Amino acid sequence: MNFTDLQNKSIGLVLSGGGVRGMAHIGALKALKEHQIEAKVIAGSSAGALIGALYAGNRDIEDMLAFFKETPLFKYNFLTINKPGLVDTERYYDIFKTYIPFESFESLNKKLYVVTTNLLKGQEEIFSQGELIMPLLASAALPPVFSPVEMKNSLYADGGIMNNFPTEPLQGQAEIVIGSNVSVIREVNKKEITSSFQLASRTTSLMVYAINRQKIRNCDLVFEPSEVEQIGVLDKKGIEKAYQIGYDHASRVLEDLLQRA
């Protein structure tokens, strides 16, 4: 990879899912901006889709962080007993609209692909045209916490269920593909797998990574900060930490590339 190419060729950006760990994507975006590197097309799943939409809407880094800090994960009047899931995802519509004030994909400043999972058909669906907010809500609707979103007479949920690292929409769309993956795997010790929750979390992470490993390796440049695995997927207290980890990691990768050039 030639550093000059990153500044002169068309860039596609893949943003994985990963909940709060996705704040590392925002750190990576800051590092890219500081090195005068900008993507023209983005594909994202779950948290990556939300950050991709903010980026495609030209929101600055502070606004991106504010969106996640100020959006409540659990709010009493958002709880639901009429839908599957604990929280009614569609109640977040107005909050999303405040930070992503675009009516459609076409009104964004960059091309965006949002991955969702169609629960009834059992397949992934990618949205890139038409109404914007509902597909974003669906892509981030992590079961069983958040209810699926109803669109087109079907139910849609978290894009990461079927495709957590969506490189496919970028084929033929960009000369260079940069991947930011926060669903990472590090070696753990036995003390870190002592409960059923820890066991389930570890095995899910391993499955997700195994499915996407080859796609990650096929990217021209990858940001993959292993330290984010220490941060809980729904732990809002980890927002700043994940952001800083992502920024530090991406800065090191880019500086190493620049020095080799």
d(CA 254, CA 247): 11
Other C-beta atoms closer than 10 Å to the C-beta of 59 total: 18
Residue 133 contacts residue 89 (beta carbons within 8 Å): no
SS3 (DSSP) at 127:
strand
d(CA 190, CA 154): 42
d(CA 124, CA 235): 27
Active-site position among 46, 139, 183, 251: 46
Residue 17 contacts residue 164 (beta carbons within 8 Å): yes
SS3 (DSSP) at 99:
helix
d(CA 48, CA 140): 9
Is 46 catalytic? The answer is yes
Active-site position among 45, 139, 158, 251: 158
Is 147 catalytic? The answer is no
Q: Is the dihedral of CA 135, 141, 147, 148 positive or negative?
A: positive
Q: What is the DSSP string of 43-99?
A: EEETHHHHHHHHHHTT--HHHHHHHHHHS-S--GGGB-SSSSSSB-GGGGHHHHHHH
Task: Give the residue numbers annotated as catalytic, written as ranges.
Answer: 46, 158
